[in-house]
Chains A and B, each alone.
Chain A
Amino acid sequence: MSAPTQEMLPPPEHGDVNTLARQLRAQFAGRITGELHIPAQPGRYRALPAEIEPRLRQALARKGITRLYSHQAEAWSCARRGEHLVMVTPTASGKTLCYNLPVLDAVLQQRSKALYLFPTKALSQDQVAEISDLNRLGELGVRAYTFDGDTPGDARKAVRTRGDIVVSNPDMLHQGILPHHTKWAQLFENLRFIVIDELHSYRGVFGSHMANLLRRLRRICRFYGVAPQFILCSATIANPGELASQLIGDKVTTIAESGAPQGEKRLLLWNPPVVNADLGIRASARSQTLAVARQALRRGLKCIIFAHSRLMVEVLTKYLKDKFDREPGKPARVTAYRGGYLPTERRATEQRLRQGAIDCVISTSALELGVDIGALDLCLLNGYPGTIAGTWQRLGRAGRRSRPTLGVLVASSQPLDQYIVRNPDFFLGASPEQARIAPDQLLILLDHIRCAAFELPFRLGERFGGEPLEEFLAYLAEEGVVHREGESWHWMADSYPANAVSLRSVAEGNFVVIDTTAGGQKIIAEVDYTGAPMTLYQGAIYMIQSTPYQVERLDWEGRKAFVTRTRADYYTDAIDYTRLKILEEFETAGKHAAAAALGEVHLVRRVAGYKKIRYYTHENVGFGKINLPDQEMHTSAVWWRVDAGFLAQSFPGRQQALDGFLGAAYAMHHVAALQTMAEPGDLGRAVGDGGSGWFATVGVNGRGVMHNSAGEPLAPDAQQRFNPTLFLYDDYPGGVGLSQPLFDGRRRLLAAAAGLIAGCDCRHGCPACIGPILASEEQRGHSAKAAALKILEMLNVD
């Protein structure tokens, strides 16, 4: 919560980010592909509402808050009117006060209680610290506690019975609170507010689970005779109101205009220079990030660097420390911050950041949210964070106190990164990112109806979700877990259903990795079900902290992989095939020559083998076969098909057309993930004939290869029929609602994919546009890039 009266700090005496920006522009004009400038904005203020509880008003005054930003005042009156509301505000705009104000007021005036839900534990801690601060200043006597996996057993009772504000997370609500709601009766009976922060993170599978979890929560609230009000906060996305209303199943008022003052902001989009034009290889993002960071540090600017992986955080930290922290005895200027460090260590780093004692912090997304780290001048993103919302959140970490700030987004060679740095407009105007959830996804809904039946018996006429509840209950009765008696359905099994449902993934049970080196049996890692077939097959090299282990045996049923330490000079990369068979078309568009459709497919995924790839040279040093069960599911998909005759007219041969399809699929997959804010695992792509007859993959020589259902290669020209179909599908049984918006927005999708390929600097295709191309144009005999563009043009059926 930032204090409106304190925002005008004197400008920093040392270097200035605008000078740095000028210099970078002069020196590296070719690498800066775009620049956004957001001028400073004055704050808009409102007087503190007169009806605020006097002690709370005093606490605010002691914190230096004597007026509110306009959006805070709006949130206050909206909350007073009893409406559910969602706030869409930038970082450091005093968001927490928007909910703390009505909540604390209700706690003080009506002895009401509140439940706060944050997606992660770290954020919960900060919230409690924040409330404690106001509590102390105003001697409010409000009891705010966190409740999560770290809460000690003997403290739990106090949290349940005495907490005015309980700060927890969805997983705890799901497995710890709702199934034991009677123990929480005191909280529920007085529950007036439910605060949900980081709304935008509840999307896809996780979001669909969340919507059902909230249905359960509201059901329990009804039992205790309360109808709490929801206050939600989101980063900027295209549809915050829609998402919020889908999640809580009710009308929501959106407050999108921030009244907080904003310092001048500048964002440079930075593309590393091409070092091999043939293969489209660019200098690493790391080298560029380090170069900019060094310049900033020399100028005495304070900066934060975000990297995707913990490993990259360590690497960047080492390189910068080697340069700037060489004198022993002097306090470190450079520090790393990431998950996996001890909480005390992290708290100490946060404190030193707030004091301005650190010049450069390198972090994973751990610092992206909430945690107050004081004023920084420069924010460097080593790679695109994956969503625009995430990008703005990270950039918001610089310049919390209205100083001019500079952000530099350094693109990696990933297609998304390359697309983003070439489309600066993406960052301005209305966000194109639609957060999608499917609250009535059948399997997810079924999981939560099961959990809800355990929590309270269902009564005839009750509703849960958008599907007919009685049919679900009949289904569960047939499975023998609920029992109908008169007008009620009762739980009837000796089990605790919430333990079998994971909110974050398909709950098939994680695999444990067991190190058997030197005869021992030590669990060293856990891999989720979906990741296991691609990483834990027999013969795989599995890396932990860059130490290689070899998988000796995979016990699929027992969910165990036995590994030993190895000194292999190669790593392994699994080859998987996905075959799709169209089951039903729901909607179609287009003509005979080319058509797009939305429908249901049957998917079979086989992990067939793996490549051994030597470090540094990246040469292929061998193959291995993998013998794993196929994975099958029904899911929803969107697909495009081109008539064989039409293809024959447009391409010299089937091989070229196939290459074009594979390239187009690669580009579309990445753009689609961006437009639907899909988690990488939630969306898949495939090229095949749509009837499980054949499917295509990119072979080792960089060319498309057709396979039959057994995985054996086929010659494209030897086939009777050649009717390639390009699929994008929901990678979750039953689908999670991604295909429908892709079908509806297909023109935008095709245009963006074409833009990605056409705008790429490579000559024939590269990992940044149509996927890795190993062979040169001469060997391939044609340009795969041109072929992909041609296919995209043909797919535009509208």
Chain B
Amino acid sequence: MSIKRRLSHLRQTPQCTPGAAAGLAARIGRLRAARRSDESHGSGDPSALRRALQGVEIADGVLLVEQRIASGTRHGREKLGQFARCAESFPEAAGLEPEDLLFLDTETTGLCGGSGTLAFMVGLARIEQGGLILRQYLLTRYAGEQALLNAVAAWVRAGDLLVTYNGKTFDLPLLAARSRIAGLADPLASLPHLDLLYPVRRAFAGKWQDCRLASVERQLLGFQRRDDLPGAAAPAAWFDWIRRGDGSCLTQVCRHNRWDLLSLAVLLPLLAEVYRNPCLHGADPLAVAKAHRSAGREDTALVLLLQQKPALDQAGLTALAGLLQRRGGRQAARSIWLALSARGDQTARERLAIHFEHDLQDYRSALSYAEAISDSDEKQRRCARLRRKLEKLNRQSDLDYR
């Protein structure tokens, strides 16, 4: 008996009671999700696909779709261009020319990762004369993968800065895995990388429901996709082509990928602007300042917080006062703490207690702030220490008096 018959034999439900469906049939059902048995098999016509996508076959199994998008082209509320000022906001971009930026986004056969998932489309874009030159490499057969990866490698220049959205956990590890399986060196492994998801998340995590690229487009770019093929439908679009030669959805995949790349290219300068001027774009100024501070740009952080001072909440003011104190602005820091303390802020009172005790040796004031802090072991210790210091001082002054 053939394997097929034996398997069907094991997996079928001989007397089809409804309940048995939960057993073996469920396992078959798991597989069936991907099955389209009523549809014809057969390979599609690559030249028809090439024409539909207006691409060129650069190797067996690889189509290249190339497009130029002129500087100033609208994308939502934004216009393509203004790449010059990105470097200030992102240390990764420091010292780079706009021409060194390489935007990357892939479409894959699955979203779960693992070595069985491959990138059937690699979209790359770089800047030329202020505009964008966009290259999409599309796999039309499994056998083309090696050629595709080689083509990507050929367009990458040493010194490029990769710019992606969530590429750090998704696109780049996937391409690394595929290169490994194809027996090639990973073409992107040596490049520096700026994943915009992280600065977006820092600036907007508290403000938006999520930080997916779709939210960025809606909230920041004012870009509304019309008739977009959702990313999750991309695998099926490619499988349709491979399985049945039906490439009708691949046009949409191309456009989807192009929009992703365009959004990336428009987002980068805009995000740089957000990091200079968070309030204009509804970003959290404190989070942005913290990002500057942790990137070693304390001045930028301080300037930003000072500019935004009227808009800062308690946490923002606390951070500002902390920065001021560190940079010698103790008086300015104290006035912020005093204002905060008057509003009942515990941290400010603690700061003031420390400030009066250590900076000014004013134990009486220090004690009054320390006593106003809500109860804790630390508070008790602090108060006790301050009382001892005061007592000692009193004894000394008594002695002096005698």
Contact = CB atoms under 8 A, between A and B. Distances in A.
Interface stretch (A86-94, A369-377, A482-490): A482-490
A492 B115 contact: no
A681 to B, nearest CB: 15
Contact of A632 (B20, B35, B36): B20
A483 B243 contact: yes
A454 to B, nearest CB: 3
A467 B17 contact: no
Contacts of A557: 22
Contacts, number: 139
A568 to B, nearest CB: 28
Given A471-B2, A471-B3, A557-B22, A493 B10 contact: no
Counting contact residues on chain B (CB < 8 A from A), the size range is 35 or more
Interface in A598-657: 602, 604, 628-634
A734 interface: yes
Interface string A444-488: 001000000111110000000001100110110011110101101
Contacts of A491: 109, 116
Interface stretch (A41-49, A177-185, A272-280, A354-362): A177-185
Interface in B110-168: 110-116, 141-143
B218 interface: no
A628 B242 contact: no
B110 A181 contact: no
Q: Chain A: interface secondary structure?
A: mixed
A629 B22 CA distance: 8
Contacts of A485: 141-143, 242
Nearest to A475: B4
Nearest to B176: A182
Contacts of B31: 479-481
B14 A602 contact: yes
A478 B3 CA distance: 13
B235 A456 contact: no
Interface in A61-101: none
B114 A457 contact: no
Given A479-B34, A733-B10, A492 B243 contact: yes
Contacts of B34: 479-481, 492-495
A633 B23 CA distance: 8
Contacts of A604: 15
B239 interface: yes
A454 B116 contact: yes
Central interface residue in A488, A492, A500, by most chain B CB within 10 Å: A492
Interface in B63-100: none
B114 A632 contact: no
Interface string A477-517: 01111010110101111111110100000011100000000
Nearest to B109: A494
B177 A182 contact: yes
A634 B109 contact: no
A494 B243 contact: no
B395 to A, nearest CB: 47
Interface in B1-19: 2-4, 6-7, 9-11, 13-15, 17-19
B332 interface: no
Contacts of A480: 31-32, 34-37, 243
A494 B14 contact: no
A556 interface: yes
A443 to B, nearest CB: 6
A182 B115 contact: yes
A456 B177 CA distance: 11
Interface in B168-195: 173, 176-177, 180-181
B141 A443 contact: no
A491 B109 CA distance: 9
Contacts of A185: 180
A442 interface: yes
A777 to B, nearest CB: 41
Interface string B27-58: 11011101111000000000000000000000
A632 B141 contact: no
B295 interface: no
B17 A454 contact: no
A634 B10 contact: yes
Contact of A494 (B27, B35, B111): B111
Contacts of B26: 508-509
Contacts of A455: 115-116
A493 B110 contact: yes
B159 to A, nearest CB: 26
A706 B125 CA distance: 77
Nearest to A496: B112
Given A179-B114, A494-B235, A632 B2 contact: no
Contacts of B342: none
A95 B239 CA distance: 51
A633 B24 contact: yes
A634 B9 contact: yes
Contact of B6 (A442, A479, A488): A442
B155 to A, nearest CB: 23
B3 A500 contact: no
Contact of B3 (A454, A467, A483, A490): A467
A455 B115 CA distance: 5
Contacts of B7: 442-443, 446, 475
Interface string A281-301: 000000000000000000000
A183 B22 CA distance: 36
A268 to B, nearest CB: 46
Nearest to B18: A629
B142 A457 contact: yes
A630 B116 contact: no
Contacts of B2: 471
A576 to B, nearest CB: 14
B236 interface: yes
Interface in B315-347: none
A305 to B, nearest CB: 41
Contact of A454 (B13, B115, B235): B115
A672 to B, nearest CB: 23
Interface of A: 179-183, 185, 442-443, 446, 453-457, 467-468, 471-472, 474-475, 478-481, 483, 485-486, 488, 490-498, 500, 507-509, 556-557, 602, 604, 628-634, 733-734
24 contacts: A179-B116, A182-B176, A185-B180, A454-B116, A455-B116, A457-B142, A472-B3, A475-B7, A479-B31, A480-B34, A486-B143, A492-B34, A493-B239, A494-B235, A495-B112, A629-B19, A629-B21, A629-B22, A631-B20, A632-B13, A632-B15, A633-B10, A634-B14, A733-B10
Closest 3 CB pairs of A and B: A629-B19, A454-B116, A471-B3
Interface of B: 2-4, 6-7, 9-11, 13-15, 17-24, 26-28, 30-32, 34-37, 109-116, 141-143, 173, 176-177, 180-181, 235-236, 239, 242-243
Given A492-B239, A630-B19, 13 more contacts: A454-B114, A457-B142, A471-B4, A488-B143, A491-B116, A493-B239, A496-B112, A629-B22, A631-B23, A633-B24, A634-B10, A733-B10, A734-B10
